[in-house]
Amino acid sequence: MPGYNQRMGKFFPAFKAYDVRGVVPTELNPDLAYRVGRAYADAIQPKVVCVGYDIRLSGPELYDAFARGLNDAGVDVVHLGMVGTEMVYFATAFYGYDGGCMITASHNPPEYNGLKMVREESRPISGDTGLNEIEQRAFEQKWERTGEGKRIEKDVYADFTQHLLNIVSPSSLKPLKVLCDVGNGAAGVALEQLLPHLPLQITKRLFEPDGNFPHGVPNPILEESRAETEAQLKSSDHDFGVAWDGDYDRCFFFDEHGNFIEGYYIVGLLAQSLLTDGTKDTIVYDPRLTWNTLDIVEKLGGNPVMCKSGHAFIKEKMRAVDATYGGEMSAHHYFKSHWYCDSGMIPFLLVAKLVSQTGRSLGDLVTEMIENYPCSGEVNSKVNSVADVLSEAEAVYGPQGTVDHTDGLSIDLGTWRFNLRGSNTEPVIRLNVESRGDRALMEEKTAELVALIRR
């Protein structure tokens, strides 16, 4: 078939497992954005769709093209302007729109951009839930709907800010000193609206939105991206630090000494913050690292439910089991109070609330978790065949432990466990290892598995 990309198994290489994302203009451009808008209209059949974009320089032209596609199908477009991904989720559900689209490439390099689409109630659209159909329709260009939709400008910051304040009341916070690093992403705009309502003493870092990324693309999961934040915290007096990625659907934490806290332990911390009133709430977690989360949830009387990694799977599972919170070690945190969607602002407020109410430092709150369940952090390796590595690892370690295939390969060997899973987009395998209070064992087994993977 002409134009079919055999390597990706797609019509367009920009179509990924959960969104459209690619280099501008070779993989994603106004022509494709227009076609995706028309295809979205035919596949989802919406009447009103909200659209926003982050700070990337290509955002406005991609918005205009996507909106034209919707308008030419008779769909009205609510233009949100520069926002974060969670604000599109908020606007879609809060105002009762039929769908939404966030134009973002999250933490990808500056030359990338993307389209992250949802349907009503901010339900995700991924491969099997509409994205494959949208791609095929965009390729074939056999449009079913025509019309003249209109465009409406809407500023949702005030309502979004109130939404956050309804989840965490300012009265529950003390005047903590917090370093907030936006990395020139879009979070600074939202924080300027939110912070005047809070008693926190904020040190602002790189709050100015800048799609040129003069200090690098904000992706605090990378050591080089967070190094200056850590240095500033180590040389100053703060209760904790927080940093966001460009579209602020993820946030990352640092303790009062400037030490970066793995997202795994933040999952346990947020579960703890939402279970302390003795509720029997359900908490959803991913299989990569589990023991700390299970320990906390079970001790507090909650109901832990494991789910395959990935926002579409987590959101679907949370709705199915009516979960209060879902957390991934990749720093995606999902909340029932936010229509089961991920947010980078709510974790910031919940951690501030927990530090305020317990009177304990953030470092103190996570130290015991880190000691009880030391982990490797995610170790990525390029491989020729993900399937071959998974098969070999299971052959070596499977007979010694309990095997689980919820997401890739997880094996529990009693005193330690690991998870191996392949990337959705590249020939990369991701390893996570944890132990029960034995850091030396964890490090030994991590090295052992890395050697097996890379040989």
CA distances from 252 to 97, 164, 187, 259 (A): 30, 18, 13, 11
CATH 3.40.120.10 domain extents, the chain: 20-156, 168-260, 262-342
- If 0-12 CB within 10 Å is exposed, 13-18 middle and 19+ buried, where does residue 34 land? buried
Percent helix, strand and coil across the chain, each to the nearest 5: 40, 20, 40
pTM for the predicted model, two decimal places: 0.95
Residue 322 one-letter amino acid: D
Per-residue pLDDT of the chain (455 residues; tens, 9 = 90+): 334 343 344 799 999 988 999 999 999 999 999 999 999 999 999 999 999 999 999 999 999 999 999 999 999 999 999 999 999 999 999 999 999 999 999 989 999 999 999 999 999 999 889 999 999 999 999 999 999 999 999 999 999 999 999 999 999 999 999 999 999 999 999 999 999 999 999 999 999 999 999 999 999 999 999 999 999 999 999 999 999 999 999 999 999 999 999 999 999 999 999 997 777 899 999 999 999 999 999 999 999 999 999 999 999 999 999 999 999 999 999 999 999 999 999 999 999 999 999 999 999 999 999 999 999 999 999 999 999 999 999 999 999 999 999 999 999 999 999 999 998 767 899 999 999 999 999 999 999 999 999 98
168-260: CATH superfamily = Alpha-D-Glucose-1,6-Bisphosphate, subunit A, domain 3 (3.40.120.10)
Please pick, among 58, 106, 225, 330, the residue that the annotation labels catalytic. Answer: 106
375-410 core/surface letters (b: 16 or more CB in 10 A; e: else):
bbebbebebeebeebbeebeeebeeeeeebeebbbb
Q: Which residue has the tokens 């904000």?
A: 218
262-342: CATH superfamily = Alpha-D-Glucose-1,6-Bisphosphate, subunit A, domain 3 (3.40.120.10)
Residue 47's closest CA among 117, 105, 119? 119
333-354 core/surface letters (b: 16 or more CB in 10 A; e: else):
bbbbbbbbbbbbbbbbbbbbbb
3-state DSSP call for residue 42?
helix
Hey, what are 52's tokens? 């926003």
- CATH code that applies to domain 20-156: 3.40.120.10
CATH 3.30.310.50 domain extents, the chain: 379-454
106 noted as active-site residue = yes
379-454: CATH superfamily = Alpha-D-phosphohexomutase, C-terminal domain (3.30.310.50)
